[in-house]
Structure 1
Amino acid sequence: MCSFQHSRAFFFLSIVVFALTSYINSQPEPIYNYHYCSVGLGSLEQANDDYLSNLTVLLDSLSSKASQNYSFYKAISNNTGIYGLFLCRGDVSQYTCQICVSYVSNYIKTRCPGKSAIAWYNECMLRYSDINSFGVPQTEPHVFMWNAQNNITAPEEPNFGALGLMNNLRDKVLATEMLFKAGNMSVGNGNGFRYGLVQCTRDINSTQCGNCLQILIEKVQDCCQGRTEFRIISPSCFLRYANYSLIQEASAPVLPPLPSPLPGKGNERNLTQIAIIVTTVIILILVVSLCIFLKVRKRKPKDYFQELNVKSLQFDFGTIIIATNNFSEANKLGKGGFGAVYKGKLSNGQETAVKRLSMNSRQGDLEFKNEVLLVAKLQHRNLIRLLGFCIEGNERLLIYEFVPNISLDHFIFDPTKRAQLGWERRYQIIRGIARGILYLHEDSRLRIIHRDLKASNILLDAEMTPKISDFGMAKLFVPDQTEGSTNRIVGTYGYMAPEYVMTGQFSVKSDVFSFGVLILEIVSGRKITCVHNGEDREYLLSYAWKNWMEGTATNLIDPTLRDSQITEIMRCIHTGLLCVQKQPVARPNMTPIVAMINSDSITLPVPTQPADFTQSDVVSDTPLQQDIGSHVTTYELSITELYPR
């Protein structure tokens, strides 16, 4: 059954699937303008589950009416006190209207968890509220919008008569049933034409529409004097002005052609053929799906981690909105490759760091799920802790513990702040990082190679306990796997092991190399990239090795640590040099490294020369992405970890 011998059937199926996919992908996406949540539209209360359930019914109703060729519709959700309406722009096709209303209906709840909201798009607007404002013209809130580029007229000819055109359209719209009017005017001195359009929601009458537009027109002088393109939008009316035509052709979309019916019995025969084809396609889809399922199930490798129950970690979107003050700029901690990070405070007083994946993030649902499952299993006091996650519509949020002391590099590389880190603190940080790496390599059920250990990825909590963060470049190994290879080198120069930089080979020894660099940085207070020695600039590993060989390793110690335990410091320098040896086989694993750091009774082997980097090879703390020769596939899982700054 699953031998895939029916090539013609599958060829036909592939054509059908390709046609359907092409058609679906060709659907236009509405152009976003602006949205407001509960500002001047209704109560500021948080929507409860019952309200959200009734709101879903209302939005489904609005979307349904758009699909029935309504360009405007207002509704109340089953007498539950939720009022909603949508309005499509008067010049767009009914098909475009349907697409826009359906899109906004799905979008608006994810952005506004309260009891009222309004969203404006190029093609339509939609609003809802727990207050009945039908028939009441509203110009608040209103939004000014303009194109910042090439949008200023000559001072002596401001607007080219924008006010005149807007007033003319306002007078004409009052006589239209749709409360929509577009037009243009000629501009003197060979400057061509200017175009405008105005529209009102049809829950208000023509007189109210005129008054609403008049208020917006009066605001033109305040916001848009001298601009050749602008728009002002409000809940009950809007206007637009530009130096190009604003009218869209209200034509229906071109749908895939259906077979032409033949007269007489041929018509019935044709319908029968269509029914047979459709049935065959459905059966083939089911057969292919079943075969793929069985094939994948049969080939599925041993799963080295079972999917834990993470339902208890799921946060309600409304809770995060409140915790972050609706993702306010004041709460923004920073922005990474997959989205922004915000400080939040839960109802129980716990502070959090919330990573909000951007809408156009390359991280999909599967990767997000894998990240939650993996990071949730990594429970160790020296790893950043995942508190939970949130999925709501297009929103994907990761909630982590908040660490107030930022990262290690803010202390050890700062001439003033590094004095706050005496040797006891630094020794505690070194041991904590070692324990965290040991957990990743040996003690957790999953073997994880971090690949980007560096000072800026070591976060410090209130007690200065180190927390390894930023697993965005990590690789997941199955328990019996010892090394892997990649053709895409990612990481930070200076911290990367030489075999990884040159050939793409990585293993637990890659992290050991990075840890050795960290030890030398923490002891010296100097960056890996260079050491200032008078006018000379020297690579830290070369500097450390030269002083080690000359018996002057104390030159490497931060001057602020002169009165500290010199024996412990020298032992850490010795361990660091063992970690950065050129050959991976010469570097110890994390288990003996932890023992070396914590015990003075273990005899340390003599280190060999570290990797031979020249100054030109080293770029200051610069993340690297490069492609090299061959590629060997490894079992890997990409993780995006939070780095709250």
Structure 2
Amino acid sequence: MVGIHSIVAVAVAIIMLPLTAAQPFRYSTCAGGTYDDAATSTFKGNLELLAAALPGNASATPAGFAAGTVGAVPNQVSALALCRGDTDAPTCRECVAASLPGARRDCPGSKDVTVYQDACVVRFSDQRFLDFVGVNSPYAVSYWDADSLAVPEARFDAAVAALMSAAADRAVAAAAASSSARKKYFATAVMDFDAPYPRIYGLEQCVPDMSAAQCRSCLRNLVASIPGFLNGKPGGRSLGIWCNLRYSVRPFFNGSAMLHLSAPASAPAPTVVPSVDTPKAGAGAGRKRRAAVGVSAGVACLVVFILIFSAVAVIRFKGKVATKNDLFNTAALEKMARAKCMIFDFLTLQEATENFSEERKLGQGGFGIVYKGKLPDGQEIAVKKLLDSATGHGLLQLQNEVQVLATLQHKNLVRLHGFCVHRKEMMLVYEFIKNGSLDTFLFEDTRTGNKLSWDQQYNIIVGIAKGIMYLHHDSRIRIIHRDLKTNNILLDENADPKIADFGLARLLGDHTQTKTATVAGTYGYMAPEYAMHGSVSPKVDVFSFGVLVLEIVARRRNTSFDDCDNVKNLLSDVWNCWTKGMMSQMMDQNLEGYSRTQALRCIQIGLLCAQPDPDDRPDISSVVFMLTRDNMELQAPAQPAFFFGRDSTVVSQPYEQRVYVYDRSDVTVNEVTLTDPHPR
């Protein structure tokens, strides 16, 4: 039986998109991990049990609200449904019932989805968010009508602020006057205005289990966010799980307005309802409230990107030359403003990571340090804090990574929750992946005690390939990662791989290749045509994938040093063993039978992906087919591209094949042609 839980919180946050009047309204936010969609999945069964109960439970109550939790961790599912206060029971039931199919279409396999529709809001999650009284989920949604405003903006915005402030008070007052045990926080209001808008209509609502003070705080935060999100818009809405509001110059609610306001004065001063997070004399209390809120509600994505753009402009003005391909052009900013981004409050991230303590540190890369954090509602996150020493490049990385990840949804890609810009500090907030990066499992298992089985290793290889195929073929725009390596592959609790770190990703659009003046990547994984000439195509990622496959099967880094400090190159060693028929010495000695055959097949695929000429490499869709079709015959690989350190001994190659010498100190690649016709 579905239990009913007490739920309260403050609605905040930010995802912005325009909405035309002709569009049916439905929007889904996807978060958390993914679940198995098989018929035997326990999580799926618990979710379907809740989905069957919620429509009837919500439509049967005067408040149009129901919530419940089913199952046990890790397959536990919590959910709530809140119908709009002016809907009848059949409409409420129909809206809630349509939410789960809508969630599956919008967020396939996601464990944490919120579906916003005209008549209801529904959320289900593997997080016990119903247990956290006074804490909101880390997002809300703001939409606006796409029409242009036909009256002076300042006067209209002031009227909307006054209307919505009055509606918030009325919603709280209506619940206070109710004798029902479950109070209905709901109000509709109308204000007389000027031609061509004779009236402005408004609606506000909270979940019924909130206290009056909590509902008022929730609504005031949304009202306070209007100047940041909806200024100059003839209609808009801010939708949270715990409360929501909507206004429009067109009538949209059922029945007569509960509150009727006269037209505002001819020249009103703009009115902004104070946010509950506004600092007061009691600074400590204010800090705690800000931490509870979790996400800034008063700043729009567009504003932040304009600030980022301005910062980059200053940096370039002081000595950097802008190019025609600058990521921070107007078109890019417009795309970024439409991204599903969430802006996190700095204090929340500071408290979530215990002030970015060393104990919370997960790792460090060239441009940032990653910390583990925990939000007030219990959700675990990973926060990448960009280094001050890399501010100029870090700004570019931040903009690029948000733009790429904000629109991507795939089980083998790490999910970006949002970001934070605080003074000169910049942070990206990701889902927390429990088991960390692949390199610790492959190369440090004796220290960590982690040991992957062959089945897990093969699943990781296939998962990485499928993630790359999504980037190259199935996402809205073709994306080249450019920095695929073992420490950019994260493993979840089931050892399923997730590709991370899109700071160097390149968007190709409809093109098949492009060039870059700046070559950036990681030694040993860069394709020769990219390292030498800056040529970027999907085959760049295929080359990196080939190196990854060989590292996974051999459980050895692509470059290492022997006791005499000589460079040992994995591609060289694998090819040498392959030509001599001695591949067994490169593989786990415990592999037998089918697993051994599968590992040899993976090595052959890895060599095919690491060919010097990009035209000789398969595309990633063919790679996935090779990996999942055991009966597919593979062609014999030619000699792969080799990389050596500058001080290493260059071994002659047959058939005038190119040998690429890589200088690790400055990411410069030199081409050397050797003509020795003798084999190794």
TM-score (norm 2): 0.45
Structure number, greater radius of gyration: 1
